[in-house]
Amino acid sequence: MHTVVVGTSGVTASDVLAVARDGARIELSGEAVAALAAAREIVDALAAKPEPVYGVSTGFGALATRHISPELRAQLQRNIVRSHAAGLGPRVEREVVRALMFLRLKTVCSGHTGVRPEVAQTMADVLNAGITPVVYEFGSLGCSGDLAPLSHCALTLMGEGDAEGPDGTVRPAGELLAAHGIAPVELREKEGLALLNGTDGMLGMLIMALADLDRLYKSADITAALSLEALLGTDKVLAPELHAIRPHPGQGASAANMLAVLKGSELTGHHQDDAPRVQDAYSVRCAPQVAGAGRDTMAHARTVAERELASAVDNPVVLPDGRVESNGNFHGAPVAYVLDFLAIAAADLASIAERRTDRLLDKNRSHGLPPFLADDAGVDSGLMIAQYTQAALVSELKRLAVPASADSIPSSAMQEDHVSMGWSAARKLRTAVDNLARVVAVEMYAATRAIELREGLTPAPASQAAITAARAAGVQGPGPDRFLAPDLAAADAFVRDGRLVAAVEGVTGPLQ
């Protein structure tokens, strides 16, 4: 099994995906253990002084003015975890919780938090054992960290609350720890606070969304090319020299992908022989511009994610010169903004895909295709209601594109009077990504059927590879009406798990 070694300088996006989705094991580097021990010595020295230090010998948030005596500090750390583990709603997905815990461990290992090495090792042991704390949907405002979600994770380290074992069964966390030979931690000064203060949940969801969107944007380039082909459109608008004079990188990449898919097609431009068109509709002609803008938005989001991965987000933090200073680095605004940007881009990509699907089904705009791609129009309804489903998904995506980060709601007796709502932005982006996959799948389903209805014209080799792979995956082709939901579910799975991209890349080579 792949092993991820956590040091002091952060981790990579591929590390996060390996731990969250693939169950990679975790090891702490010797450098990280040394940094943890050195920072802990600083915290212990400050804890022994009579002067109050925030997070070490004081209360938290609006209660930070109270100096806590030494005999109450362990109780204070337990209490902050217990009281902050106040989530409600549906359970959060296992991969999100694993990403959340792993990213908190990443910051702990930076040597800026003052957490003892044994606490960090317990975090790694819990992840390696496949134990997943039960975390709930609601409880984070994206400021002062993803407080409630991280608190539920810290509760598991203490042997309290509920967690899911590697077999998928939810049990008391103490029982699961004992079953795997893991001793619960007894938190000391600063440690409770250090386990709760981070942007880890929203960052983990951003990294996973970027991985999923990378595949979906390639898929959308493919389905746009299939639709262009089915509509007998022209590929001249994809010429590199046209995109070079408007040098947005994403636009050029999307155009190049479409051109690669269409290479060798007998369908493109066919309309110029018998049904002249000056130009194709925007949804066809401007596909690279829309998908490209989304790709460039992803590039910006990836830059933000990389910076956040290299960060040590905690409050207070232990600095190399021995100071322990309060700060505002836990504010989620940088991550929240790009999560919202991506939801907007996903909605627009889905919107243009739906417009192409509708064009394929409309006999007045499809250039010779049967109404709704039906076998016997009137007796058969064809894909009429598949487009309804796609339209419903697009409408939902537009609602999900409303930014969460434009909102703020004060908390903690006005101490935390401006928050990012980044967790909420991340949660709705996950739904948006799921819905985008479904929308792209419906376009793929319609476009492949339409191409097969163009008798006498041979599609591009890459298009044919996509059609052949889709049919092998249970996505059926033209014919009389049948129970459509299973076909659409098969198309969704075919797009979502990357088989569409793999089939095409088998002909074109790697797409951009």
Helix orientation angle between 200-230 and 147-157, rounded to the nearest 10 degrees: 120
Q: Do strands 136-138 and 162-164 pair parallel, antiparallel, or not at all (unpaired)?
A: unpaired
The DSSP line for 211-241 is HHHHHHHHHHHHHHHHHHHHTT--SGGG-HH
Selecting among 54, 136, 217, 282, the annotated active-site residue is: 54
**Element housing 255 (H / E):** helix 249-262
Do 52 and 69 touch, CB atoms closer than 8 A? no
User: Distance (Å, rounded) from C-alpha 160 to C-alpha 78?
Assistant: 10
Do 101 and 217 touch, CB atoms closer than 8 A? no
CB atoms within 10 A of CB 379: 9
Helix orientation angle between 200-230 and 333-361, rounded to the nearest 10 degrees: 20
Largest CA distance in the chain: 90
Evaluate the CA torsion angle 443, 449, 453, 455 in order and state its sign.
Answer: positive
User: Distance (Å, rounded) from C-alpha 472 to C-alpha 261?
Assistant: 20
Do 160 and 174 touch, CB atoms closer than 8 A? yes
Do 202 and 336 touch, CB atoms closer than 8 A? yes
User: Distance (Å, rounded) from C-alpha 272 to C-alpha 274?
Assistant: 6
Eight-state DSSP code of residue 287: H
Q: Which residues pair with 170 in a beta bridge?
A: 164
Can 54 be counted among the known catalytic residues? yes
Catalogue the active-site residues.
Answer: 54
